[in-house]
Amino acid sequence: MDRPALTDLAEEERVFRDAVRAFAEEKLRPLAGPMDKESKLRPEVIPALFELGLMGIEIPESLGGAGASFFMSILAIEELARVDASVAVVCDVQNTLVINAIKKFGSPAQHERMLGKLASGAVGAYALSEAGSGSDAFALACRATPQGDDFVLRGRKLWITNGGEAGLFLVFATVDPAAGYKGITCFVVERGADGFTIPRKEDKLGIRASSTCELVFEDVVVPRANVLGDVGRGYKVAIETLNEGRIGIAAQMVGLAQGAFEGALAYVQQREQFGQKIGEFQAVRHRLARAAIDIEAARLLSYNAARLHDAGQPFLRQAAMAKWFASDVAERVASECLELYGGIGFTTECPAEKYLRDAKIGKIYEGTSFVQLDTIAKMLFSEGA
């Protein structure tokens, strides 16, 4: 189904979107089901993402990236999620969190060293969450102790997306627990560092092919040159990047809902009951009409937040709104579409059940729906609007 004119894409953006869609249809769709069952990305997937330029969208061309906009990242995430949300989140974390954090807070030397790696083949991961710090993101137990010109990391991280594939990790730890959030610092840790292990991967309900891992740091030495931003300013790195990441999750949920919708729309025009296609029943048509309205509204909220970001305008409230609404739409639309398949929709033979399982995480990661509502409410009351 073509996107309506209201999405207002420039020609360059349309060409880019169509190229990602073609890649997703030709290369990812045949693999989505098998990778979900195997709980693992096929080895050819990530190199293909790099080859298409989807793992360094905002990295300058001089450093090997595509030199494109944040909005282009949102288009890519949406189109990948339309086919497989597991692949979309790999691209999402790479672009909206890891690359954005290094671009915004890294030194020129760090840009040269780290962005070049991320553009040329290194996957990035964003290690903030711990067992005791989920929505309370800054209640960190992970410690970083100064030692000469280095820091020594000790602690654990949980639920880290891309943990199984990443070569470069943004790790948040506190250098001074008594200082609260002002002690938090962001460190860049490379895979293979002494004392750094990844003991297990989570077995999840949805986005199963995407790796979600525990990280363990046992006296891991990190040079001061790998501190991203200033010591004690990691909270700023985290807050500002998560705001951008929430737009990425919104785009993921929009793409997922679109994929579920398109499958159901095709199915109801084929399946016959009571002597006619089930898509000819008004009740079925109205359910799909409402789904189409919700998806378009979620898309416009997401695109608006991304456009504001690229224009250098405030976008925090719009990002929270987009994530809250898109994740709600994705779960609701995926559920409604599954029901239109009838009994087969409840089986793994049908892709509808995967869309529903994949949708659930949208209300949880990168800020739960409760956190988004709290953020929106605080801003409404503080702005008096």
H/E/C letters for each residue in 338-356?
HHHCHHHHHCCCCCHHHHH
Q: What is the mean pLDDT of residues 331-356?
A: 97
| Lowest-pLDDT choice from 24-38, 94-108, 122-136 | 122-136
- The percent of residues in the chain predicted with pLDDT above 70, rounded, is 97
Give me the pLDDT at residue 162, please: 98
Nearest-angstrom CA–CA distance, 28 and 21 = 10
Nearest-angstrom CA–CA distance, 222 and 91 = 26
pLDDT tens digits along 222-272 = 999 999 999 999 999 999 999 999 999 999 999 999 999 999 999 999 999
Q: Are 20 and 75 in contact (CB under 8 A)?
A: yes
pLDDT tens digits along 163-220 = 999 999 999 999 999 998 999 999 999 999 999 999 999 999 999 999 999 999 999 9
Looking at the annotation, which residues are catalytic?
A: 366
Residue 114 has which token pair?
């780290």
pLDDT band at 384 (very low <50, low <70, confident <90, very high): low
pLDDT above 50: residue 273:
yes
CATH 2.40.110.10 domain locations along the chain: 125-232
Q: 236-383 has which CATH code?
A: 1.20.140.10
CATH 1.20.140.10 domain locations along the chain: 236-383
CATH 1.10.540.10 domain locations along the chain: 5-122
pLDDT band at 1 (very low <50, low <70, confident <90, very high): very low
Q: Are 351 and 29 in contact (CB under 8 A)?
A: no
pLDDT band at 4 (very low <50, low <70, confident <90, very high): very low
From the options 3.40.50.10420, 2.40.110.10, 3.30.70.1710, 3.30.70.980, give the CATH code of 125-232.
2.40.110.10
pLDDT above 60: residue 3:
no
pTM: 0.95
Give me the pLDDT at residue 345, please: 97
Q: What is the mean pLDDT of residues 323-349?
A: 97
pLDDT above 50: residue 6:
no
Nearest-angstrom CA–CA distance, 57 and 41 = 21
Q: What's the whole-number average pLDDT of the chain?
A: 95
Report how far apart the first and last C-alpha atoms of the chain are (Å, whole number).
37
Residue 335: strand, helix, or coil = helix
Nearest-angstrom CA–CA distance, 78 and 88 = 7
Give me the pLDDT at residue 47, please: 98
Output the CA–CA distances (angstroms, integers) from residue 14 to 65, 75, 251, 298, in the order listed.
Answer: 19, 9, 16, 19
Nearest to 102 by CA among 229, 231, 246, 230: 229
- The percent of residues in the chain predicted with pLDDT above 90, rounded, is 94
Give me the pLDDT at residue 133, please: 84
Q: Are 134 and 148 in contact (CB under 8 A)?
A: no
Give me the pLDDT at residue 137, please: 66
Q: What is the mean pLDDT of residues 110-118?
A: 97
Q: 5-122 has which CATH code?
A: 1.10.540.10
pLDDT tens digits along 288-301 = 999 999 999 999 99
